[in-house]
């Protein structure tokens, strides 16, 4: 496909947009990225998005109206199945199903991490941090190879967790240290994902500044912790 045939409608801070962008970059597919303001959603976007959320993937089709996909999982699955390059899932059906399950586990982990990052009071921050660390401990027990979730091959579980770990890479090291201490495999995985070119390129260069502005607007305890 050419750059005119795929367009990713996004928001600069959305981690689910990052999932789709990482897959596109891993597949080496040219695409147009269209950022919108979620606080003032344009009418054309509301007409295309049944849930009013990003990401959306607009697909131009010869002699047909544009097709639109919503929800990051559906978009990532479609791109993995239709674009050239190595599949981001295992060939074995059982291994593939397990990877899909752990990708869902990653999506569920976002809520706890997000509530910790945006907490306005110490009690909420402490509670959410403990819940999120418990999920990381479950991952530590599962990770048996490096550098990625399934060993040397970068895959869809990595795509899911990379935007989540990115948040903690932005913070002063004293903040994530007690969350990741004692989890050497998760920490090594997090470091490997941070160095992956597709992960780096999935966000704008001003991502850290934009995230800090978000935390300030939310009056979060961590608003001054971006390094």
**What residue segments make up the domains of the chain, in order of their start?**
6-82, 93-224
- Can you tell me the distance from the alpha carbon of 159 to that of 21, in angstroms, rounded to the nearest whole number? 9
Distances (CA, A) of 227 to 133, 141, 152, 186, 213: 22, 30, 31, 22, 13
Question: Tens place of pLDDT for every residue, the chain, 227 residues?
Answer: 444 589 999 999 999 999 999 999 999 999 999 999 999 999 999 999 999 999 999 999 888 999 999 999 999 999 999 999 999 999 999 999 999 999 999 999 999 999 999 999 999 999 999 999 999 999 999 998 889 999 999 999 999 999 999 999 999 999 999 999 999 999 999 999 999 999 999 999 999 999 999 999 999 999 999 98
Pairwise CA distance, residues 139 & 101, whole Å: 12
Fold of 6-82: Glutaredoxin (3.40.30)
Contact 188, 200 (CB under 8 A): no
pLDDT at 3: 44
What pLDDT sits at residue 121?
A: 97
CA–CA–CA angle 210, 109, 116 (5° rounding): 55
| Listed residue (63, 56, 64) closest to 17, CA to CA | 56
- The reported pLDDT for the residue numbered 77 is 97
**Helices (H) and strands (E) in the chain — how many of each?**
10, 4
Q: Which residues are paired to 67 by β-bridges?
A: 59
CATH architecture of 93-224: Up-down Bundle (1.20)
Residue 4's pLDDT is 53
Alpha helices in 27-155 (DSSP H): 43-48, 72-82, 93-117, 122-142
- Same fold across 6-82 and 93-224: no
- In which element (H, E) is residue 200 found? helix 197-201
């Amino acid at each position: 496909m050419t750059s005119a045939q795929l367009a990713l409608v996004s928001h600069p801070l959305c981690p689910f947009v990052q999932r789709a962008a990482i897959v596109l970059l891993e597949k080496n597919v040219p695409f147009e990225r269209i950022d919108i303001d979620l606080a003032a959603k344009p009418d054309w976007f509301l007409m295309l998005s049944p849930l009013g959320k990003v990401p959306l993937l607009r697909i131009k089709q010869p002699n047909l109206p544009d097709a639109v996909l919503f929800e990051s999982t559906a978009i990532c699955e479609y791109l993995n199945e239709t674009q050239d390059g190595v599949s981001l899932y295992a060939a074995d059906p059982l291994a593939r199903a397990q990877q899909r399950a752990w990708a869902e586990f990653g999506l569920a982990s976002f809520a706890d991490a997000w509530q910790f990052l945006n907490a306005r009071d110490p009690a909420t921050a402490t509670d959410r941090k403990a819940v999120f660390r418990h999920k990381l401990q479950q991952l530590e027990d599962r990770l048996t190879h490096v550098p990625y979730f399934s060993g040397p091959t970068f895959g869809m579980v990595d795509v899911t967790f990379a935007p989540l770990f990115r948040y903690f890479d932005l913070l002063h090291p004293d903040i994530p240290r007690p969350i990741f201490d004692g989890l050497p495999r998760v920490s090594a995985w997090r470091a490997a994902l941070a160095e992956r070119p597709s992960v780096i390129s999935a966000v704008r260069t001003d991502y850290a500044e934009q995230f800090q502005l978000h935390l300030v607007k939310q009056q979060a305890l961590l608003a001054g912790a971006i390094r």
